[in-house]
Structure 1
């Protein structure tokens, strides 16, 4: 009965909002300036909301005690965790006394990551060498995850991914399939495999978490990142949909950083690029507090604010700014490095 009343109340509020949206403009006779006023007011509200969220997330939010929230000594599984952002997640979570399961393609990088982490902490590090692009069915993951049975896994980090800055006509089928496998299929598959495990832990009082690395390129199509932008858009919307139906005991975080200096970006260095350490630090600060995060540095806040302003002033100008950012020297150098690597790795 209470639920029925709640739904009715929501319906009434929705109908009232629709009625006001129709009646108020009619009250002002729907003049040209009335329309301009409402459009301006809506955009101003959007800007204020963005500014409030930015200040709240970056300056006012304190990081939760993650080991207390998820369970000290429990396991965090990280895909693509032997390099870059994934390795930084492993390093920082180890400092919080989480044991680790790291999955990666590169055995040498896995061995080095395990050695470095165990030399600086007392946590257990389990490494699994696997080429995720070879798995075509859920059943094929059985052997991969057999060693994890009985482990109290509390955090899943969907980090593995690959980008491309080649023109569409130069992207080989092998590259396209790899991007789809890593950026789309792996996110859905690992989330599906671990969702029930995260909800059926022995300690029912503890929360669990799923973190997915998307990208700020998921907000809009980005020149030279055609497929990366689209696949990260999928990952982002997938996490937002999951967040709307998840259990209260499951924290979800959709991470959408800008440029991060890693192998994938050609280790680019400039004012709008941050290091993996800051990226992960700010993501873990948002974990349990927010379901989405994109702010990664003060410079990014400024740029995001400027772009938001351009978006509300002139969409065409916004696109021109994006094109300009994509044509900067830092981007050109990074694209040259990555493009050369991609042409060598993904030949038909």
Structure 2
């Protein structure tokens, strides 16, 4: 059995996905930008499951980082069976007040390096006629995001890109799925000094639901009944509620 590679695996949904995959006897590699957080996550996971968890420090908010990570994995002769592109960042605030460099990092992490990792591993998976990729998008992919404009737009890209390569891959033995979680109880909001909205799902519930649907071959995974309903609300109404999130 090859490895499941999870980017952004040291916290939040990524960490809970690592827990869930380990629970189901997968071999797991987690990637994150901070070595201290990686080591802490590795210790927690190994203590809980009594199994080795590999860690790779790589800042995927930098250009060229995806290719460097791929090279390091190949040098270690590690076979990746499942790729989970979970790493991502978002900023909340008026568009003109968010620093351009923050937006640039967001686009590199959320879009460019996700695409590069998909391309690098897809070529292998097509050759082997097997493999799975899970790209983490957001409910924000289905609408514009006032006061979180670049983040929502980046997640719309992830959904569109993933659906396109899902179509290309469907007859080649490779599965491409997209996870679109709603607000989740992670440190996403805390980074901007905000409180997590009260209707948020736990990262653990999101991960468990995702695992089940992913292995059923679901193309677009939306955890939570409320999120499924919200998806089909009028765009203006959704934009109104999204704009209110900045007030939490």
Pairing 1:206-285 to 2, within 5 Å after superposition: 207-246=130-169, 247-266=171-190, 268-271=196-199, 273-285=200-212
Q: Give the Å deviation of 1:135.
A: 3.2
Q: Give the Å deviation of 1:177.
A: 1.0
Q: Give the Å deviation of 1:302.
A: 4.4
Q: Give the Å deviation of 1:193.
A: 1.5
Query: What TM-score comes out, normalization by structure 1 length?
Result: 0.64
Q: Which residue of 2 aligns with 1:78?
A: 6
Larger relative CO (CA 8 A, sep 6+): 1 or 2? Answer: 2
Cα 1:94/1:235, change in 2 over 3 Å: same
Cα 1:148/1:93, change in 2 over 3 Å: farther
Q: Which residue of 2 aligns with 1:53?
A: none
Contact 1:135 / 1:141 at 8 angstroms: preserved in 2? no
Q: Give the Å deviation of 1:300.
A: 3.0
Pairing 1:4-153 to 2, within 5 Å after superposition: 73-136=1-64, 140-141=68-69, 143-149=71-77, 151-153=78-80
Larger radius of gyration: 1
CA–CA separation in structure 1 for the residues paired with 2:49 and 2:65: 36
Q: Which residue of 2 aligns with 1:174?
A: 101
Contact 1:85 / 1:280 at 8 angstroms: preserved in 2? yes
Q: Give the Å deviation of 1:128.
A: 0.7
SS in 2 for 1:85: helix
Question: Which of 237, 240, 244 is residue 323 of structure 1 equivalent to?
Answer: 240
Q: Give the Å deviation of 1:74.
A: 2.7
SS in 2 for 1:210: strand
| Residues 254-294 of structure 1 deviation map (CA, whole Å, 9 limit, x = unaligned) | 111111111112361412x1011111111112114311122
Q: Does 1:332 align with 2:247?
A: yes
> Is there any run of 5+ residues in structure 2 with no aligned partner, and where?
none
Kindly indicate which of the two structures has a greater share of residues assigned to helix. 1
Query: What TM-score comes out, normalization by structure 2 length?
Result: 0.88
* Equivalent residues, number: 242
| Residues 307-339 of structure 1 deviation map (CA, whole Å, 9 limit, x = unaligned) | 2xxx3xxxxxx41453145326xx522xxxxxx
CA–CA separation in structure 2 for the residues paired with 1:138 and 1:275: 29
Cα 1:321/1:137, change in 2 over 3 Å: closer
Cα 1:260/1:185, change in 2 over 3 Å: same
Q: Which residue of 2 aligns with 1:196?
A: 123
